[in-house]
Amino acid sequence: MNNANILQSYLCHFAAILLLVTGLHSHTFAQTFPSKPLRIIAPYTAGGPADVISRILAERLESYFQQRVLVENRTGGNASIGTDFVAKSASDGYTMLLGAPAHTANPSLMKSLPYDTEKDFTAVSMVMEQPMVIAVHHSVPVNSIAELVTLLKANPTKYNYGTSGAGGPQHLMAEIFKSATGTQIQHIPYRGASAAAAALVAGDTQISFGTPTNTMPFVKNGQLRALAVSTSKRSPFAPDLPTLNELGFTNFNYSAWAGIFVPAGTPKDIVNKLHDGLNKALREKETRDRIFVSGMQSAGSSSSEEFSQFIKMDITRTAKIIKETGIQPE
């Protein structure tokens, strides 16, 4: 055997040994995970749906893993600041991201991001879904979607709607509605869903494309009037409300969502452990009830791969909506 062959043989054996050692190390690390507190980064303001679901899950994961699970709100940049923090964190499973629709909208909405949405994260599991509720301030003289469309067409510059920010689910839903109905409604972005809801109740905005969390309590006390939901099936939060499909808007199905991500490169065994912990928590009646009372529906993924496929689909779907409606950062 000549020297070149000897060297090649040596390198192959060395690579095999290195791969074996690395695999054993990762497996051992996963077996002991978690051995210290974890944290969920929520890149949204306190009090909104993403923050609420983060805290419910953190509490249940503490019980499952027997470790502290902290929630940190790192807001700004349409959720990109907190997201970037997680992208640059260690790939060890101890830092998680609570992602929501802004996660899949930002690649199309923002000119540049300090991270790659698809390459820098591993999707772990979806954790919740929410229908969008179309509602109006009690002073708006309409009782149905048909009446709302007629009013908006007669007054194309009079009415506005508030959202938690450009490119979020409220904004996307509103722009889809405007496109489908041929109406004009002015967009006013606020710093968070709670602020947008407060402006609506005060009458500073008149129309809402919000979640049950920030809509239904005010519907119940008479401050708002709900007209329809955005999902293909009626919502358990408002079973008397018709869907837009029922009202003639065919194939209309849009909902908000939230899910957990970790930095890319996190060992598969650890991703699976986090996935199993999340889904065990989501199957518990106590957890489901707390999520439901908060205006959300628990929605675990059967695997991290399934959630990953959903994210790819939503990036494509959202890009199409943004392109067709001309949504711009505000």
Q: What is the pLDDT of residue 26?
A: 46
Nearest-CA neighbor of 200 among 139, 137, 132? Answer: 137
Give 51-90 pLDDT, tens digit per residue.
899 999 999 999 999 999 999 999 988 899 999 999 999 9
pLDDT value at 321 more than 50? yes
Q: Cα separation of 237 and 214, whole Å? A: 12
Question: What's the pLDDT tens digit per position in 203-229?
Answer: 999 999 988 878 888 999 999 999 999
pLDDT at 49 over 50: yes
Name the average pLDDT for the chain: 89
Sign of CA dihedral 197, 203, 205, 208: positive
pLDDT digits 0-9 by tens, 103-154: 999 999 888 999 999 999 999 999 999 889 999 999 999 999 999 999 999 9
State whether residue 72 is helix, strand or coil: strand
The domain defined by 133-229 folds into D-Maltodextrin-Binding Protein; domain 2 (3.40.190)
Q: What is the 3-state secondary structure (H, E, C) of 2-35?
A: CHHHHHHHHHHHHHHHHHHHHHHHHHHHHHHCCC
Q: Is the pLDDT of residue 9 over 70?
A: no
Angstrom CA distances, 218 to 121, 134, 185, 302, 324, stand at 37, 13, 21, 35, 32
pLDDT at 76: 87
d(CA 248, CA 228): 12
Query: Which stretches of the chain are DSSP H helices?
Result: 3-32, 49-65, 80-87, 101-109, 145-154, 169-181, 193-202, 212-220, 268-283, 285-293, 304-325
The mean pLDDT value for 240-257 works out to 89
pLDDT exceeds 70 at position 29: no
Q: Over 50: is that where the pLDDT of 186 sits?
A: yes
Same fold, 33-129+256-325 and 133-229: yes
Residues above pLDDT 70, as percent of the chain: 90
**CB-CB contact of 165 with 158 (8 Å):** no
The rounded distance, in Å, linking the Cα atoms of 79 and 87 is 12
Query: SS3 of 53, please?
Result: helix
Q: Measuring CA to CA, which residue among 233, 272, 232 is closest to residue 252?
A: 232
Q: Render pLDDT for 82-93 as a digit per residue (tens, 0 to 9).
A: 999 999 999 999
Least confident of 22-36, 111-125, 208-222, 256-270: 22-36
Per-residue pLDDT reduced to its tens digit, 271-316? 999 999 999 999 999 999 999 988 888 999 999 999 999 999 999 9
pLDDT grade for 184, boundaries at 50, 70 and 90: very high
Percentage of the chain with pLDDT > 90? 63
Whether domain 33-129+256-325 has CATH 3.40.190.150: yes
How far apart CA 132 and CA 67 sit, in angstroms, is: 35
Q: What is the pLDDT of residue 77?
A: 87
Q: What are the sequence ranges of the domains in the chain?
A: 33-129+256-325, 133-229
pLDDT for residue 268 is more than 90:
yes
Contact 61, 276 (CB under 8 A): no
pLDDT score at 228: 96
